[in-house]
Chain A
């Protein structure tokens, strides 16, 4: 198990090293002084000189890259020369928003997908199953930004139930917080729900064929009890495996949703740095996101063997 974890991390490290080195090399090929660009064209000589020192522009590409890597590993993530804000400060404001958005949407998606999936699988080919499957198919085909626009139009513009005024922290009151966060979370959850629902339904149909389900029913246990206690757990493994990949997908959605609802989270930060041509900050952030995600997926794979004793024994 440890070996598996180690291999995965080694793979990640290699990929991140290769990509960032390639990036550095290409950055070097771009015409113009990156430090002049970083200040948006309005900088004094000293500022540019300081920036050039910070970024080791005098060194060969591979040395610049190695120094960047060393800085990141020792916790020095650099700063924006345009705004003067450091990477850490910017991330401090943005990260909680994105994390909350991701957590809420996963809760909504799983909260809806688990009962629906159990019921659809149990009542296979019934009218309710067909409606659920059809709905899942439609949700799978609707891009996040289209769904978000429709929800904004109906619930925020026409009905005026929710606010679009930008992020409100929990400390401003739960009502204000959820008035801002509810629609974005629903929008993001809508993309995750159909994937979870389809997987769970297929697995539930498989589990229902097992002998222990027949036994439980024969003992006279109520359907609800059998579904929740006996069917759900063995049916949830595929769901768990896909969870890591879906978490990465959710970040794609989060970038768009944050843009759509003006939430200023990590996605918006990334987009604004891209727009400001803060190449190094973009690179640091992308490398960090990559590291977090491969770690998450690997952990999920490990959890899989904890939950399913059959895998553990191998």
Chain B
């Protein structure tokens, strides 16, 4: 029964053909870029052509892009291409687990609230609403200060930030599907609540959550980037996109490529994440799902 409804929900939308084709091209370009970024981040230690990101004087200091240093060098002559890749490695290794845990915890909270309703919903929704009305970065700062600046603590802080937004969306989706005929039918056929929840409602919420994961990834990368930009993320010898940009800020006049290229890489990555997320939501026909 779930199979039938899933196909009905995921079925391609009738759309104007040329627009669809343009979107397809953009979608594959985005996916290609994301694969490139993720692959280089994962494989960074084994990529032979990549310089050591901490080694000074890989080239003359503060030189623009050249054949030997594709993204130029920073004030100590460290290779910016290697630093961008390693920065992405750390930024993604914070964002990945954060979004993964956020989706599981937020998804469960949201589905439980949406499915059971009543006081369970009231309790979960109250906390979620208050959390959504607060400036998230202030709380992330607060958490990182309290726990100390380390990889684990920054990940915890940004994970906590993703949970309320994801829970809200999962709740809306669960509410929408819990009222559908196939759930009522299963209920009348005598199915118990675990079956209704896990076999009927949850599989229909998962596609929406998968698309949200891309958008949430973008938000977490920006949040972690902001934290490291103001110097409250993982400590200094570690490289993140945010602290490369923070260092590049002081050198804008003489070596703008440090900030511009890394900023560009970040921008393209975020645009790809948002595009893939938006497209998936559109194709799955998910409403009420903006973060």
Binding site for B on A (CB under 8 A): 8, 11-12, 15, 23, 26-27, 137-138, 140-146, 149-150, 152-153, 157, 244-245, 248-249, 251-252, 255-256, 259-260, 270-271, 274-275, 277, 279, 282-283, 286, 289-290, 293-294, 296-297
- Inter-subunit contact A289/B138 (CB<8 Å): yes
Q: Could you say which residues of chain B place their CB within 8 Å of the CB of A140?
A: 274
- Inter-subunit contact A141/B126 (CB<8 Å): no
- Inter-subunit contact A249/B133 (CB<8 Å): no
Query: Of B229, B260, B267, which contacts A141 at CB under 8 A?
Result: B267
- Inter-subunit contact B133/A244 (CB<8 Å): yes
Q: Could you say which residues of chain B place their CB within 8 Å of the CB of A11?
A: 126-127, 129-130
Stretch of B43-51, B101-109, B141-149 contacting A (4+ beta carbons < 8 Å): B141-149
Q: Is B114 an interface residue (CB 8 A)?
A: no
Known: A23-B146, A145-B245, A146-B267. A137 touches B274 (CB 8 A): yes
- Inter-subunit contact B271/A141 (CB<8 Å): yes
Give the distance in Å from the alpha carbon of A244 to the alpha carbon of B147 in the complex.
Answer: 29
Q: Could you say which residues of chain A place their CB within 8 Å of the CB of B270?
A: 141-143
Q: Could you say which residues of chain A place their CB within 8 Å of the CB of B134?
A: 248, 289-290, 293-294
Offer 25 A-B interface pairs, CB within 8 angstroms, sorted by A: A26-B147, A137-B274, A137-B275, A137-B278, A138-B271, A141-B274, A143-B226, A145-B229, A145-B245, A149-B252, A149-B260, A153-B259, A252-B137, A256-B230, A274-B141, A274-B145, A277-B145, A279-B145, A282-B141, A282-B142, A282-B145, A289-B135, A293-B133, A293-B134, A296-B133
- Inter-subunit contact B141/A248 (CB<8 Å): no
Give the distance in Å from the alpha carbon of A110 to the alpha carbon of B249 in the complex.
Answer: 29
Q: Could you say which residues of chain B place their CB within 8 Å of the CB of A260?
A: 229, 249
- Inter-subunit contact B226/A249 (CB<8 Å): no
Give the distance in Å from the alpha carbon of A146 to the alpha carbon of B278 in the complex.
Answer: 22
Known: A143-B270, A157-B252. A259 touches B133 (CB 8 A): no
Q: Could you say which residues of chain B place their CB within 8 Å of the CB of A244?
A: 133
- Inter-subunit contact B271/A137 (CB<8 Å): yes
Which B176-198 residues have C-beta < 8 A from chain A?
none
Binding site for A on B (CB under 8 A): 126-127, 129-139, 141-142, 144-147, 218, 222-223, 225-226, 229-232, 242, 245-246, 248-249, 252-253, 256, 259-260, 263, 266-267, 270-271, 273-275, 278
Query: Of B132, B137, B146, B242, which contacts A255 at CB under 8 A?
Result: B137
Known: A145-B226, A146-B245, A256-B229. A286 touches B139 (CB 8 A): yes
Minimal Cβ-Cβ distance residue in B for A198: B290
- Inter-subunit contact B252/A297 (CB<8 Å): no
- Inter-subunit contact B138/A270 (CB<8 Å): yes
Interchain residue pairs A-B with the least CB separation, the first 6? A251-B135, A146-B263, A252-B137, A141-B271, A297-B133, A141-B270
Q: Could you say which residues of chain B place their CB within 8 Å of the CB of A144?
A: 222, 226
- Inter-subunit contact B138/A286 (CB<8 Å): yes
- Inter-subunit contact A252/B135 (CB<8 Å): yes
Known: A137-B274, A146-B267. A259 touches B229 (CB 8 A): yes
Known: A142-B270, A293-B135, A294-B133. A271 touches B263 (CB 8 A): no
- Inter-subunit contact B133/A142 (CB<8 Å): no
- Inter-subunit contact B230/A271 (CB<8 Å): yes
Chain B nearest CB, measured from A143 CB (Å): 5
- Inter-subunit contact B133/A252 (CB<8 Å): no
- Inter-subunit contact A153/B256 (CB<8 Å): yes
Minimal Cβ-Cβ distance residue in B for A259: B230
- Inter-subunit contact B146/A279 (CB<8 Å): yes
Give the distance in Å from the alpha carbon of A250 to the alpha carbon of B55 in the complex.
Answer: 38
Chain B nearest CB, measured from A119 CB (Å): 21
Chain B nearest CB, measured from A123 CB (Å): 17
Chain B nearest CB, measured from A23 CB (Å): 6
Known: A146-B245, A256-B226, A271-B232. A251 touches B137 (CB 8 A): yes
Chain B nearest CB, measured from A41 CB (Å): 18
- Inter-subunit contact B259/A149 (CB<8 Å): yes
Chain B nearest CB, measured from A146 CB (Å): 4
Q: Could you say which residues of chain B place their CB within 8 Å of the CB of A138?
A: 271
